[in-house]
Each structure stands twice: as structure tokens, then as C-alpha cells.
């Protein structure tokens, strides 16, 4: 029987070297794979970015594999996501999306946290044209 891994695409402070990597990922992630997905990345001027899944642009990041569900679910808390709450009341919502290798080959469907459009607008987010949040 294959092991279940909880996989999530990260594009900001959870990337290796990012602000939240040591607390939420270091020693908890079994695999880190460079990846990208289609969407728009926004600088919110608050120390972390917001992703909106629309358009043809690419957002750069990594797919992280968590072997333990409890470690993966800690990300819900960090991202202000509660599945039982209406989507508009969450700062981010967790969705399944298809990720790609940096060369554009399809990888698999993984989780990602998408910020609501209302939250991006409220924070006056500005688009990061190259889709890459600096670590």
C-alpha cells in the first residue's frame, strides 16, 4: 500500500528559505519539488503575497509533500482557512490545482491556498509580473 502524502503548492513565505519555512515545514516536509501554476501573484505590502487563480501568467513556487496530515493541516491555521466557513469569510481558500514543472510538463493535482479577490483588493495588492515572490 502506497503512503499518502499531503501535497501543497507554496509560493511565498512557506517556500524553502521563507519566513514560515522553519516553523511549519522544516523537518516536516519529505520532498520539495520546484513547480509552477497558472495564476497571478500579488504583493500585499504586509510581508506575504496573495495568489489569484486566473489568467495565463505563471506563478513560481514549490510542491511540498507532508507525510503527516497534522503537519499539513497546520497550514490551514496559518492561512486563515476554515473549511466549514463560507469562502468569502476566509482570507485564503484551499483548492486543488494542477501544477507543472519549471519546463511546463504537467506534474499532478495538489492543494494551493488562493486569496479571495476581495482580500487582494482590500489590501491594495500590486501584481508581481514575474510571478516570483522573493525569499
pLDDT band with cut points at 50, 70 and 90 for residue 22: very high
Interval 26-30 mean pLDDT: 97
pLDDT tens-digit map of 30-57: 999 999 999 999 999 999 999 999 999 9
pLDDT band with cut points at 50, 70 and 90 for residue 27: very high
Its pTM stands at 0.94
Domain ranges of the chain: 6-127
With contact defined as beta carbons under 8 Å apart, do 26 and 13 qualify? no
CA distance 37 to 61: 8
pLDDT tens-digit map of 54-112: 999 999 999 999 999 999 999 999 999 999 999 989 989 999 999 999 999 999 999 99
According to CATH, the topology of domain 6-127 is: Hypothetical upf0131 protein ytfp (3.10.490)
CA neighbor of 29 nearest in space, from 60, 86, 74 = 74
Looking at residue 97, its pLDDT comes to 96
CA neighbor of 41 nearest in space, from 118, 126, 135 = 126
With contact defined as beta carbons under 8 Å apart, do 88 and 120 qualify? no
pLDDT band with cut points at 50, 70 and 90 for residue 3: low
Looking at residue 135, its pLDDT comes to 78
CA distance 100 to 64: 13
Burial class (CB in 10 A: 0-12, 13-18, 19+), 15: buried
Q: Rg of the chain over CA atoms, in angstroms?
A: 14
Amino acid at each position: 500500500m502506497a503512503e499518502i502524502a499531503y501535497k501543497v503548492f507554496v509560493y511565498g513565505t512557506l517556500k524553502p528559505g521563507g519566513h514560515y519555512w522553519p516553523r511549519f515545514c522544516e523537518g516536516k516536509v519529505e520532498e520539495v519539488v520546484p513547480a509552477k501554476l497558472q495564476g497571478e501573484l500579488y504583493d500585499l505590502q504586509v510581508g506575504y503575497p496573495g495568489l489569484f487563480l486566473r489568467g495565463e501568467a505563471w506563478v513560481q513556487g514549490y510542491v511540498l509533500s507532508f507525510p503527516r496530515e497534522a503537519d499539513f493541516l497546520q497550514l490551514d491555521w496559518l492561512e486563515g482557512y476554515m473549511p466549514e466557513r463560507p469562502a468569502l469569510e476566509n482570507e485564503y481558500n484551499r483548492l486543488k490545482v494542477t501544477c507543472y514543472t519549471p519546463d511546463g510538463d504537467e506534474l499532478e493535482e495538489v492543494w494551493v491556498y488562493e486569496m479571495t479577490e476581495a482580500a487582494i483588493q482590500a489590501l491594495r495588492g500590486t501584481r508581481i509580473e514575474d510571478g516570483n515572490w522573493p525569499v
